[in-house]
Amino acid sequence: MTKLEPGYIRALASQFGRLIGSDCVLTDPDLTAGYSRDITGRYGLDAAPIVLRPRSTADVATIAAFSAKESLELIPQGANSGLVGGGVPRFPHQIVVSTAGLRTAQPHQGWVTVGAGITIAEVHEMARAQGLAYGLDLYANPFVGGSIATNARGARAYRNGDSARQVLGLEAVSAFGAIESNLGGGQPGIDWLRMLPGSEGTLGIITAADLRLIPAFTQRATAFLGLASMEAAVQAIELLKDNPAVEAVEVMLSAGLQFVCTTLNLTPPVRGEAPVYLLVEAVGNSNPTDLLIEALGELPDGLVLNDALGDDETSRRALWRFREGFPEACNQFRPLKLDVSVPLAGYAKFMAQLPEVVTHVEPGVTTVLFGHGAWGNAHVNLINVQDPVAAAEATFGLVASLGGNFAAEHGIGFSKARWADQYLPPERLRQMRDLKHLLDPNGLLNRGVIFAD
């Protein structure tokens, strides 16, 4: 199937309207357009033929059961904040299923049960109401369902774990419309729901989750450091990430910081220049400034060239503004975004060599690098790319040569699916394909994501 004909679209919309309510069915291109292309502008369609907006898990099950009977392909979508084309239609016959209407929320002592359409920010609010915290901290504000489906990580993942680590239980709808749940407690036997984090909507549609909450730290202190070299930065990262008071270590290269300051009209936070910068945050239930200063004092002499300290909320947020400004500044130029990671042993080499490696195949490209340094993550932003495939292949080749991961925290999605065969271990890829065939034998859920065929 390559396209849904207008008459068939009208007939399907009418049928879906009878099943879940006509107000939950969109076919007007002016309305479906907002669900049809991702925030990068690189992936998706101008307008999906149909967008469905279920209001309950039962609605999702009804949609899936009918679609399985009619061989209709479904694209589960969260907040549409993804960067790899995993939540938008790629083909004109695919139907979007938005989880925005799945907004149940129930607090418990030390955990919460929330619908897939609840945002991460709302989970943080629920946690604060209990004097606790949610372990996932992301620049974007995705829905819970999407963050689990992509197994999102973020700045504090090395301390708190990825999205999967926050999940106590899940509810999901299978490709055939069956509702499966282990909310409130586990189920006997093999639990396929545990395989959904990182599956990117290819195995089932997540509709709700039990999420663990963690002890909250009431105070924070932040330092912005200029380092003598990328090698010095890695040495500092290795020491800082093992300090129990340190919760985040973010990396920014000098060229990137200059780009951000110029684009956003900001004044650099430290005097003088350095090749690389680290943003380090310490936490505690009493003022952790002394702990942060003590941690920095343990770094070898000569590593830090200049520094700035944020010891209250205003000054701390001012320092974070520079790190959070990277995606804001880059997004003004519609960059090619390639989220990768490498072992810390190869991190300095990757950061130093990538601009030259990319320029070799794409002259004129501006490479902006930053990332979650504690676990070797790099957010690669390539501006003025003419050949995205060549630029991506050059980047992934360097990543692979250093033993890294071509898809670090945003998922494989559609944009990286063509490289899965090359960069995923063959046995793991075979297992993934077998699982996909078992749970979705007709390939109706998110076709084109993770698996290129």
**Summary mean pLDDT of the chain:** 95
* Structure confidence by residue, pLDDT tens digits, 23-35: 999 999 999 999 9
Residue 247 confidence (pLDDT) above 90? yes
* Mean pLDDT across 220-237: 97
**Cα→Cα distances 355→364, 365, 383, Å:** 11, 8, 11
Report the alpha-carbon distance of residue 217 to residue 282 in Å, rounded: 10
The percentage of the chain sitting over the pLDDT mark of 70, rounded to a whole number, equals 100
Return all residues near 117 (Cβ < 8 A) that are at least 6 apart: 78, 99, 100, 101, 102, 103, 143, 144, 145
Name the more confident of 72 and 5: 72
* Structure confidence by residue, pLDDT tens digits, 103-123: 999 999 999 999 999 999 999
Token pair, residue 444, equals 């109706």
Residue 1 confidence (pLDDT) above 60? no
Contact by Cβ (8 Å): 208, 104:
yes
Q: Indicate whether this model's pTM tops 0.85.
A: yes
Report the alpha-carbon distance of residue 296 to residue 125 in Å, rounded: 32
* Structure confidence by residue, pLDDT tens digits, 294-345: 999 999 999 999 999 999 999 999 999 999 999 999 999 999 999 999 999 9
Nearest to 338 by CA among 409, 259, 261: 409
Report the alpha-carbon distance of residue 406 to residue 413 in Å, rounded: 12
- CA–chain centroid gap for 375, Å, is 15
DSSP line for 340-375: EE--HHHHHHHHHHHHHHHHHHSTTPEEEEEEEGGG
Helix-then-strand count for the chain, H and E: 15, 18
**H helix runs in 248-312, sequence order:** 254-264, 289-297
* Structure confidence by residue, pLDDT tens digits, 249-260: 999 999 999 999
* Structure confidence by residue, pLDDT tens digits, 76-92: 999 999 999 999 999 99
Return all residues near 320 (Cβ < 8 A) that are at least 6 apart: 222, 279, 310
Q: Are strands 95-98 and 167-173 parallel, antiparallel or unpaired?
A: unpaired
How many Cβ atoms sit within 10 Å of the Cβ of residue 372? 22
* Structure confidence by residue, pLDDT tens digits, 331-388: 999 999 999 999 999 999 999 999 999 999 999 999 999 999 999 999 999 999 999 9
Return all residues near 80 (Cβ < 8 A) that are at least 6 apart: 34, 35, 38, 39, 87, 88
